[in-house]
Copies of this chain bind each other. A is one copy, B any other.
Amino acid sequence: MMVLITYDVSTETEGGKRRLQKVAKQCVNYGQRVQNSVFECLLDPAQFAELKSRLEKIVNPETDSLRYYFLGNNYKNRIEHYGAKKTYDPEGILII
């Protein structure tokens, strides 16, 4: 299933900057970065549970937020892009 992950991490402190980097690093392992704080990840339920648990250990829930959007399997019809950067096909082939 396609899971869209968006995050806001407060970077007012050095700790926040480190959290931001760590969140991005985890997401990179599981999906495609489509914008600065937006990742599209093709995951099975076990992978999603794993990623979620990792991310939620990194962020500070008082200042940071994570949102997960479940786009299902027919996600291709649910996504539209405008402007800079290529759109990735998360199943492997680049759509240019």
Q: Which residues of A pack against B, CB within 8 Å?
A: 4, 6-8, 10, 34-38, 52, 55-56, 59-72, 77-85
Assembly of this chain: how many copies? 2
Contacts of A63 in B (CB 8 A): 83-84
Q: Which of B10, B37, B61, B79 touches A69 (beta carbons < 8 Å)?
A: B79
Question: Is B84 a contact of A78 with CB atoms below 8 Å?
Answer: no
Q: With A35-B7, A35-B8, A35-B37 in contact, do A65 and B81 touch (Cβ < 8 Å)?
A: yes
Shortest CB distance A84–B (Å): 5
Minimum C-beta distance from A3 to chain B (A)? 9
Alpha-carbon distance A61/B84, docked complex (angstroms)? 5
